[in-house]
A and B are shown apart, each in its own frame.
Chain A
Amino acid sequence: MSTATVMENTDTAESERPRVEHAPIPFRTVVGVELRKAFDTRSGFWLMVAMAATGVIATGAVLAFANDSDLTYDNFGAAIGVPMTILLPVVAILAVTGEWSQRAGLTTFTLVPHRGRVIRAKLAVTVMIGLASMVLAFGIGAIGNVVGSGLRGVDTVWDLSFTSILYIVGADLIGMMIGFMLGVLMRNSPGAIVTYFSYWFVIPTISGLLAANQDWFEKAQPWVDFNYNQGQMYDGGFDATSWAQLAVTGTVWLLLPLAFGLWRVVRAEVK
């Protein structure tokens, strides 16, 4: 109608564009992008550096300070594994919470609207990083063990069975899943990290005191204290009752909250 308006489009007919049917985004693409996101920020990058550095420092410390009789694979593995056990869940937390705390989810969930796919990809990445770190830890530990015993001229002691290694890997993965669950549930980096460290440091103290002073709790503890069951895994040798106890506490403290968190994540507003 108006010819005076310079910016107005006068011809829409010529402007049809041929429609192209695009292929759906494969799951491996989403996983690849999520893997990249775990390393491309300072927090992600330094977390990985911190784990590698503590591993090397721990190996060096064992070499420098341990008695000859303590130069065993178990001790090298533990020196490297403990800092990793503590830091890996933080990797899992940040993988999830960044979408909300940093609001990156506005783009992520617009490009991949099915949030479940993104969360599954994050879970896959968490497990991948966890397994890779543990392979690295056991590898560095093995090197330290060979080099250390060689330097001191003592026998190289391989005192970790494959079964014990599986128990340790399982316990570490459970730790990462706890981080992941807290991330999904709280969607807030500081909140989830603080909660995770209270789970790790405060709860064992309290429940340990309680078990030491109250008979009834000492009996109940294996059936209610997930942290206790997880800790037992590092010693291995679970019987049927131990597995049942792990299943009970794991369901209550890990699976149920995770399910509730996921249910909310796919419905919550992203803004």
Chain B
Amino acid sequence: MIIVDSLSKKYGGFTAVDHVTFRAEPGRVTGFLGPNGAGKSTTMRIMVGLTPATSGTSTVLGRRYADLPNPGREIGVLLDASAQHAGRTGREILTLAQRTMRIPRDRVDEMLDLVSLSDEESDRRVRDYSLGMRQRLGIATALIGDPEALVLDEPANGLDPAGIRWMRDLLRGFANKGGTVLLSSHLLHEIEVIADDLVVIGNGRIVAHGTKSDLLAAAGTFASAADLAALAKALVSAGHTAEESLGGVRTDADPAQVGRAALAAGVPLTELRPADGAGLEEMFLELTKDDAREEVAA
């Protein structure tokens, strides 16, 4: 379990992270979603003590990060796959982690296998790695201590589709075994397929959080009828929103309310269901758009 409590970070007069509060639960994948510059990386750096917080606290498995006796064995961290000494080989970087954590040597080969870096590749210097290979090496470094929690900042960057699929399965397996996973992304689709819980951040502030299914439900209802204009009018006069999209109407009302409004207005429905992923995408755009506007105004 990772608990972040009212974390703030100011750079001079600029607030990069503004009273951020959320938790990542064991057995679940928590997606940390937000556009570029929203404050995801800063929040994660504060969580592992690389950046001092202006105020607020965060704990990992019940302790402050700095109080963990051997952090790599409790929480695997990947903040920036390119932040490595370019002159070291991949194998050497894993060996340094293995020695620092005081774990058996064969973990190095196990991890190289797990992330599919061949013997030949692991003996190359990191300077000559592609971004995808660096991400794999970074994930290997995060996992080598067999930790209970993972904190990964944009780990899918630079991975090819097969690599993204592989990582998704890996993180799902990790969570199913009881691990806590927190991963960030600025791409909704990337996180939508893997996360159980979502924390959405915009301009340093949490703008939404909850289970993915709740957030999907909060995205409203999709309904369709032969006469879309009549359906929209019925919804609006019942006090709901109505937006035509994709051959139907999207509304903030729940399905029962939509049914009642349509019945009262005598509009036969042809389709009625919770708005799906497309709804979440609109929510994400909307949330970030609001913040973008404030930024312009500020």
Contacts and interface: CB of A to CB of B under 8 A. Distances in A.
A25 B176 contact: no
B27 A9 contact: yes
A2 B213 contact: yes
A159 interface: no
Contacts of B85: 37, 41, 98, 102, 104
Contacts of B74: 22
Interface residues of A, number: 45
Which 7 A-B pairs have CB atoms at the shortest separation, nearest pair first?
A15-B178, A12-B27, A103-B83, A1-B213, A41-B87, A15-B27, A24-B69
Chain A interface mostly helix, strand, loop or mixed? loop
Interface of A: 1-2, 5, 7-9, 11-12, 15-17, 19-25, 29-30, 32-33, 36-37, 40-43, 98, 102-107, 109-114, 267, 269-271
A20 B61 CA distance: 11
Given A8-B213, A9-B175, A43-B87, A113 B80 contact: no
Given A9-B196, A23-B102, A29-B100, 11 more contacts: A1-B211, A7-B193, A11-B27, A16-B26, A102-B87, A104-B83, A106-B79, A107-B83, A110-B48, A113-B49, A113-B66
Contacts of B28: 9, 12
A110 B100 contact: no
Contacts of B26: 12, 15-17
Contact of A41 (B45, B70, B80, B88): B88
Contacts of B101: 25, 111
Contacts of A7: 168, 172, 193-194
Nearest to A106: B83
B70 A17 contact: no
A270 B69 contact: no
18 contacts: A1-B211, A1-B214, A2-B212, A9-B176, A12-B26, A15-B175, A16-B27, A17-B179, A22-B69, A41-B85, A102-B86, A104-B85, A107-B141, A110-B71, A111-B97, A112-B100, A113-B49, A269-B50
Contacts of B99: 29, 32-33, 36
Interface string B107-150: 00000000000000000000000000000000001000000100
Contacts of B61: 19
A98 to B, nearest CB: 6
Contacts of B79: 106, 110
Given A37-B96, A103-B84, A8 B177 contact: no
Interface string B11-44: 0000000000000011111000000000000000
A33 B100 contact: yes
Contact of B102 (A8, A29, A37, A106): A29
B178 A103 contact: no
Contacts of A8: 196, 212-213
Interface in B65-100: 65-66, 68-74, 77, 79-80, 82-88, 92-93, 95-97, 99-100
A105 B84 CA distance: 8
Nearest to B29: A9
Given A15-B178, A111-B71, A113-B48, A25 B102 contact: yes
A180 to B, nearest CB: 18
